[in-house]
Every structure is written in C-alpha cells, then in structure tokens.
Structure 1
Amino acid sequence: MKAVLGPFVPSYTGPWLAGVDEVGRGPLAGDVVAAAVILAPDRPIEGLNDSKQLTEKRRELLFEEIQGSAAAWCIARASVAEIDRLNILQASLLAMTRAVQGLARAPEHVLVDGNRLPQWEYSAEAVVKGDSRHPAISAASILAKVARDREMVAFDEQYPGYGFAGHKGYPTKTHLAALEKLGVTPIHRTSYAPVRERIEQIELF
C-alpha cells in the first residue's frame, strides 16, 4: 500500500515564507515556467491545491486571487534555448531561482517542490509532492501552470496545426503526428528526442 504524505510543516513558520514550483519539464515545446509566492497570513486563500488536481476554471479563479491577495509573487522562466543548453533539470532550477529573486520582498525561508534545491543563498527546504502539502507551494504551482498554459494557447494561434492549445506542448499522439507532418518550430526543444529525431530525419533529405 502506497504511503500518503500529509501536510508539511516547515522549519520556519514566520510570515516571509515563500513557496516555489515549476511547470513544463515534460513538454517538447515552450519555456519551463516557475513561480514563487509569499502568502499573506491575514488574507488566507481557500481551495489551494496542486494545480494538476484543480479544474481549469478553478485554477483561473485562484490565479487572480493569488495575485491580488499574496504578500508577494513572481512568475519567471527559463527559455527553450536555455533548456537545450543546460538540460531541463538545470533550466528548471534556474527558473525557480529567478522567480524567488523576482519577489518584491526577499523571503526568510523557501519551500521548493521536489527533491532538489537550486544553488542559492536562501534558507530552503525541498518538499516532495509539496504542491499538495503546503499552500504556498500550491499557490506557486497554480501561477506557473496558468501562466504557461496561457502562453501555449497563444502559440496555438502563432503555429496552427500543432494543437498547442490542447496538449500544451506535451508529447501526445496529436503533437507527435503534427511534428512529423509540419516539422519543427522555433519553440520546440531540440534537445528532446522526438524533436531531435525529426530534425535528423529532415537533414537526411
């Protein structure tokens, strides 16, 4: 029987606690997007959870509420070029670092979703499945996902035929078929195998 992780109690429980999460490690296209959030203790937000466990409508509503109620928040990214140059793990850590650095007020402690911490000067803890175990990380996961999803919907208009609005860049059958038929766009990650293989295929002819 799989163990169920409960709520996480950080070593720091003061008011300047930031939660950080990223979205977009798996897609073949688009930036990896991270967010950092410091929640305001006197303005609690109901219904925070892992963004993947929420409906799109609920995420959109919480996105606006978080931005209006949080003590501080920042959305940042690492570009497709940085992903291809650094690898996706290092690019994700870079995006999270930029998100924390972009906060209007420096946090006294940072909770990072996952099991890896960026190399930075902040007091921090990595929290496995933190996006469902601590509200600040949940809030960050919502900001990152909604921001990235909106970008991929915009890319759907810029690069029609790939279905970006539906799969958000993930390697679905629809996306792979479009990649085979239409080729590689500037927002595709050339270091990812399906994209690299398509480029190599084209170069053979």
Structure 2
Amino acid sequence: MSELQRPKVALLCGVDEVGRGPLIGAVVTAAVILDPAKPIAGLADSKKLTEKKRQLLAAEIKQNALCWALGRAEPSEIDALNILHATMLAMQRAVAALAIQPEWVMIDGNRCPPLAMPATAVVKGDALIPEISAASILAKVARDEEMALLHQRYPQFGFADHKGYPTAAHLAAIQQYGILAEHRRSFKPVRLIAERDALSCANTEQGSR
C-alpha cells in the first residue's frame, strides 16, 4: 500500500480476525496500535509464519505496541447472526476494548463494521499493513491457544492438529463422538449431522411405540 493510501494519522489501528472457517469455537479478532518509536521486525500475515515465530512476535507486539485488545463472538452469536455479522461484532468489540482510541482503523478484508472513527477495508491487508499484520498474529495465537485448551478437554477430536477447520478427521470425529456444545450448529457440516441425528432419534422413538 502506498503512503498516499495510508492515512496520515498518529494513532492508526489495524484489525484482523481468525476463525471464520472453523466449525467450532469463537471467531477471534485483534486490534493493534503500534508504537512508531518501537518498530517490530518480521511482521507478516500470520498464516505465512511458523507457530514459533507467531508466538515470539505476539509477545513482542504485546510488549511494544502502544495498545492492543482482543474481541470475540461466541458460537451461539455466530449461529444467531451468521459468521459475517458475528465477525463484524467481534471487530467492534476489539476496537472498543483498546485503552487508546485510534484516529483511524484499517481492517483486513473488503468491508468495515460500524465504528466511532473513520475506517478503511484493505484486501490482503495482513500482508500490506504492519498494524493489520500485528493484529492477525495476536488473533491467530489467541485462537490457537483456545483450540489447544479444547484439545485437552476433547483429545479424541484432534483440535490441536486441525484447529476446528472442517477436515476429514474433524468431520469423522463429529460423526463418531457427536456434536459438542462449542460447535457452530448453523455451519452446514454440523447442521447436516444434527439433522441426521434428530431424524434417526425420531425414527427410533417411532419404532419403539
């Protein structure tokens, strides 16, 4: 992104999300205002970094940024609102939680949630804008930590490996072990299994009469 497109403000906030695609857990967002006096080397799209590098950068961002905050929308909110609107809500929550109000917000993607300050959506912003890169790293590390905790509770689902995305292993685990409270029931693979189970239960009850 050229300097002409980058707002000329002192307090520029980057926002990104992680977890729109998984079948389980919250969608997690982060908002970051970096400190120009404390540049952080190596910021990039979180998906392009190793887990170890993300964790190291996350610690550096938390230590050196002017401020940062996380936001989230829970599975029940995703089911009620749909994933797009839940993501917008989680972004609003991250920006609202900042200790310093930004003058401008730059958001990864092609749309912005309603905010109290000007905002710009930047497609592939996590690879172009350092503040958005930092936000993507914090959000990714936070959600991966949540998946690690979920893995401890339900090791048979393999959340440490697939992070809740609709892999063959995850779908097979749902088929075998059932739907968890943390699953997003509005997402098609989960919904279809829930409908099948409900139909099977109804047929069993009918047959036992």
Read off the aligned partner of 1:81 and give its amino acid letter: S
| Equivalent residue runs for 1:1-205 within 5 Å | 7-9=1-3, 10-205=5-200
Q: In structure 1, how many angstroms separate the alpha carbons of the residues matched to 2:34 and 2:123? A: 20
TM superposition outliers: structure 1 runs of 4+ over 6 Å: none
Q: Do the aligned partners of 1:49 and 1:132 also contact (CA within 8 Å) in 2?
A: yes
Point out where structure 2 has 5 or more consecutive residues left out of the alignment: 201-209
**Larger % of helix: which?**
2
Q: Do the aligned partners of 1:93 and 1:118 also contact (CA within 8 Å) in 2?
A: yes
TM-fit CA distance, 1:8: 4.8
Q: Do the aligned partners of 1:8 and 1:134 also contact (CA within 8 Å) in 2?
A: no
Point out where structure 1 has 5 or more consecutive residues left out of the alignment: 1-6
Q: In structure 2, how many angstroms separate the alpha carbons of the residues matched to 1:73 and 1:197? A: 38
Deviations, residues 72-104 of structure 1 (Å, cap 9, x unaligned):
100110000000000000000100010000000
Q: In structure 1, how many angstroms separate the alpha carbons of the residues matched to 2:33 and 2:84? A: 24
Q: TM-score normalised to the size of structure 1?
A: 0.95
User: What percent of counterpart residues are identical?
Assistant: 56
- Structure with higher Rg: it is 2
Q: Do the aligned partners of 1:8 and 1:130 also contact (CA within 8 Å) in 2?
A: no
Read off the aligned partner of 1:126 and give its amino acid letter: A
Q: In structure 2, how many angstroms separate the alpha carbons of the residues matched to 1:52 and 1:15? A: 28
Q: In structure 2, how many angstroms separate the alpha carbons of the residues matched to 1:76 and 1:93? A: 10
Q: TM-score normalised to the size of structure 2?
A: 0.93
TM-fit CA distance, 1:44: 0.2
Read off the aligned partner of 1:90 and give its amino acid letter: H
Seen in structure 2, the aligned counterparts of structure 1 residues 46 and 129 have a Cα distance that, compared at 3 Å, is: same
